[in-house]
Chain A
Amino acid sequence: MTKPKMSGSKAIIESLRMENVEVIFGYPGGQVLPLYDELYDADIRHILVRHEQAAAHAADGYARATGKVGVCLATSGPGATNLVTGIATAYMDSVPIVAITGQVPRPLIGNDAFQEANITGITLPITKHNYLVQDTKDIPRIFKEAFYIAGTGRPGPVLIDVPKDTQVETIEFEYPQEVKLRGYKPTYTGNEQQIKKAASLILKSEKPIFYVGGGIIFSNAAEELRELAECIIAPVTTTLMGMSAFPTAHPLSVGMLGMHGTRYANYAIQESDLIIAVGVRFDDRVTGKISAFAPNAKIIHIDIDPAEIGKNVRVDVPIVGDAKNILKSLLKFVKQEQTKTEAWIKKIAAWKKEYPLTYKKDNFLRPQFVIEQISEICPDAIIVTEVGQNQMWAAQFFNYKNPRTFISSGGLGTMGYGFPAAMGVKVGKPESTVIDVAGDGSFQMNSQELATVVQEDIPVIVAILNNGFLGMVRQWQELFFNRRFSSTCIEGSVDFVKLAEAYGALGLRAKKKSDVKDVIKEAVKSGQPTVIDFVVEREENVSPMVPAGAAINEILDLE
C-alpha cells in the first residue's frame, strides 16, 4: 500500500485526527500560517482566543473536565512565550495538554530571527517532555508520542515546536500504531506484597484517615475511594486538587486540609495513627511545618510517580501505580474484615459539630454566602476558580458531588486561570453549567476572553466576588504586615457590568443578599456568557488559617 503524500501541516492535522482531537484553542501568527491554512478546511473546531495564555488555560480546563488531552496552538516567539504560564500551570497540576508552537524555519534557528524564541529550552523545566521537529518525516511519530506521554502515567504538558519550513515540506504520512519509548514505561499495577502490607496496617489502625488529591480524579478512582472508605469506615480529607473526588456531604468527608482546611481535617490528620495518602505530594500548603506533621501516623503513600514517594515525608508503605487499580486491590484484602474505627469516627463527628466551617450570618453580603447560593441554585455546576480568596471560598462552601466539578490552579496558583479555563471546560462539557468563581483582581488578568466567549458562543458564568482588593494578599498584609495595604487596593478599577456589555455579554450586579438568588437564576436562564458583579464585604478573610510555616493544628480563626 502506498502511503499518502502530504505537507507537514496536513500531517499535523491528520495526526490530530488520529488522536480524536475535537477542538484546538489557538492564535495564529507568521510561523504557523501553513498550519492555519490547513485548519481552514479541517473538521477540527478552532477557538480563537484573544491572548495565547488563555489558549493554554482553556486546553487545560478542557482536559481537566473531560479527561482527554487538551490542545493549544500558538505562533513562534511571543506567541510561544505567552503559553508559558499556562504550560507551567498544567505541569504543576499534572494536566495532559499538547501545546503546538510555530518556529522560524530551520536554517534561521539560532540566528535571533524575527519572532524567534527557544521555546523548547524555555519550557524544559515545565513540560513532561518537549520536541523540536528537526525532520519533517518525524511529525507523525512525534505527535503519537506527545499524546501518549501527555495522557499516560502521571499526566502533564508536552510541547511540540514546529519550524515553518517543516510545515510545508512534503512527506509520506503513516501514523504509527504504537509508541516505542525505551525510557518511558509507567507502572500501573501496585506491588502485591506492598498492597498486603498496606491492608494489614489498615486493619490494625484505630485512627486511619484518607488524604487524597488530584491523583484520584486523574485516575477516575472516586468510586473506588468511596467504596474503600466506607468499607474501612475512615474519614476522607482532600487537598485543593482533590476537591470533588469525594462528596462534600458524605458523612465520612472532613473537607479540605492544610492552610485553609477545616479545623477537623487538620486535627484528624494530626491525631491519626495511619494516613492513607493517594495521589498527593505532601505539598507545603498541606503539611504546614513538616517536622510537626502527623507525628503519630504511619504513612501509606500510593502514587503513580515514584519520585513523589519519600520526597517530602518519610513513608512506611510506598505503593507505586495507578490509584484506581490499587484501591480496588486494597478493597479485596480488607473487604471481609472488621475495622476498629468507631471511637475515632465519633471523635471526628464531635469536632465537626464543634468547629464547623462558617462565617458571620448578618445582613452584609459576604462572599461565602454567594458560594452557598450558587451551590443551592446550581448543584450540578462545574466550579472553576481563579486564585486567591475566591478559590478558597469556592473550595470551602460549595457542595461537591461528582469528580471533575472543581477545577482550579492548585500548584502554580495562577491568577487569571479561571476564566479561560472555564471556557475550555464549557467547550468540553457543553451540557453543564460552568461557573468561574472569580475575584475582581484575577478576572482582570484575562478578561479579554469575553470577546472569545461571545464570538464563539461559550456561555460561561463569571461570578466575581468583588471586594475591591487583591484579597488574599490584603489578608496577609492585615495579619502579618500591620494592615499596611501596599498595592492591594484596586477599588473602582472597572465597571464589570459595562465591561461585559461592551463585549456583548450579559452583565449583572448584586449588592444585597436579597439580590443574589435572582441574579444567579437570571444568568443561568439567559444562556449567554454572563458576568455577575457581586459587590461583597471588602475585608472578609478566609478562615480558618494556618500561618505559613506553622504546624497545621496551630489554627487562627479569622471570623
Chain B
Amino acid sequence: MKHTVAVLVENKSGVLTRVAGLFSRRGFNIESLAVGVTENADTSRMTIVVSGDDNVLEQVMKQLNKLIDVIRVSDIPQEDSVNRELALIKVGVDSNTRAEVMQIVDIFRAKIVDVGAKSLIVEVTGDESKISAIEQLLRQFGVKEMVRTGKVAMNRGAKVVQSEKK
C-alpha cells in the first residue's frame, strides 16, 4: 500500500540528507520524493510517497516528527487530494509518425515543448497512472529519453498543511 506524506521542513542545507537518511536507516522505502519551497521562503515542503502498511506509515510519520528540522508531517489521503507528477518524454519521430504522436499528445492534454528533425519532447502532467499510460502509448514510436518528477500532492477544499497550526 502506498501513502503520500507531506513534510514541512526548515529550508536549509542538510535537511534532505536527514530525511533520506532516516528512511534508509529505519528500513522504510521511498517510492518518490519531491522537494520545493512553500509560500514561506524559510519553509520547504517534501512530498514523499512511501510503501508499507498503516503501522509503517505511523512509524514513518513519528520518526519524521522527531527530526528537529521537520516542522510538520501530514498524511495526504489519495481520494481527497490533487496528485500530480510531471514527465518530459523525448520521442523519436519521422514524417510518418509525427502526426500520430501529436494526436496522442492532444488526447492526453499534454504539450509538445521541443521539436527536432527526428524527435519531439512531450511534457505531460497528471497522476501517476496518466503518465504511465501516455508513456506506454509513446513507446511504440521509440522513447529515447524520459525524466519524471516525484509526486506533489495537496488536499482538496479548505484543509491546508501549514507550519503553524491556526
Contacts and interface: CB of A to CB of B under 8 A. Distances in A.
B118 to A, nearest CB: 41
A110 interface: no
A183 B69 CA distance: 6
B68 A149 contact: yes
B42 to A, nearest CB: 9
A182 B67 CA distance: 11
Contacts of A128: 68
A56 B66 CA distance: 23
Given A124-B21, A125-B21, A183 B68 contact: yes
Interface stretch (B27-35, B56-64, B85-93, B134-142): B56-64
A411 interface: no
Contact of A306 (B55, B65, B163, B164): B65
B25 interface: yes
A307 B62 contact: yes
B68 A121 contact: no
Contacts of A184: 68
Interface residues of A, number: 18
A129 B67 CA distance: 7
A134 B13 CA distance: 10
Most buried by B among A124, A183, A311: A183
B96 interface: no
A187 B63 CA distance: 15
A183 B25 contact: no
A119 to B, nearest CB: 13
Contact of A307 (B17, B55, B59): B59
A307 B17 CA distance: 20
A343 interface: no
B133 to A, nearest CB: 38
Contact of A183 (B55, B58, B63, B71): B71
B62 A306 contact: yes
A120 interface: yes
Contacts of A379: none
A307 B10 contact: no
Contacts, number: 40
B14 interface: yes
A118 to B, nearest CB: 10
Contacts of A121: 17
A404 B122 CA distance: 66
A305 B22 CA distance: 16
B55 A310 contact: yes
A184 B72 CA distance: 10
A1 interface: no
A141 to B, nearest CB: 13
B14 A120 contact: yes
Interface in A289-334: 305-307, 310-311
B18 interface: yes
Nearest to B61: A307
A103 to B, nearest CB: 14
Given A120-B14, A121-B17, A124-B21, A129 B59 contact: no
A183 B17 contact: no
A31 to B, nearest CB: 20
A27 to B, nearest CB: 26
A247 B67 CA distance: 36
Interface in B1-48: 9-10, 13-14, 17-18, 21-22, 25
A315 B166 CA distance: 31
Given A181-B68, A182-B163, A183-B70, A125 B25 contact: yes
Contact of B65 (A129, A181, A307, A311): A307
Contact of B18 (A124, A134, A306): A124
Interface in B122-166: 163-164
Nearest to A145: B68
B14 A183 contact: no
Contacts of A183: 9-10, 67-72
Nearest to A309: B62
A209 to B, nearest CB: 26
A113 to B, nearest CB: 19
Contacts of B164: 182
Contacts of A182: 10, 71, 163-164
Nearest to B24: A125
Contacts of B69: 183
Interface string A459-494: 000000000000000000000000000000000000
Interface of B: 9-10, 13-14, 17-18, 21-22, 25, 55, 58-59, 62-63, 65-72, 163-164
List the 5 shortest-distance A-B pairs measured between CB atoms, nearest first. A307-B62, A129-B68, A183-B71, A182-B71, A125-B25
18 contacts: A121-B17, A129-B67, A129-B68, A134-B13, A181-B68, A182-B71, A182-B164, A183-B9, A183-B67, A183-B70, A183-B71, A184-B68, A306-B62, A307-B62, A307-B63, A310-B58, A310-B59, A311-B59
Interface of A: 120-121, 124-125, 128-129, 132, 134, 149, 181-184, 305-307, 310-311
Given A183-B70, A306-B65, A307-B63, 5 more contacts: A124-B17, A124-B21, A182-B10, A183-B71, A311-B59
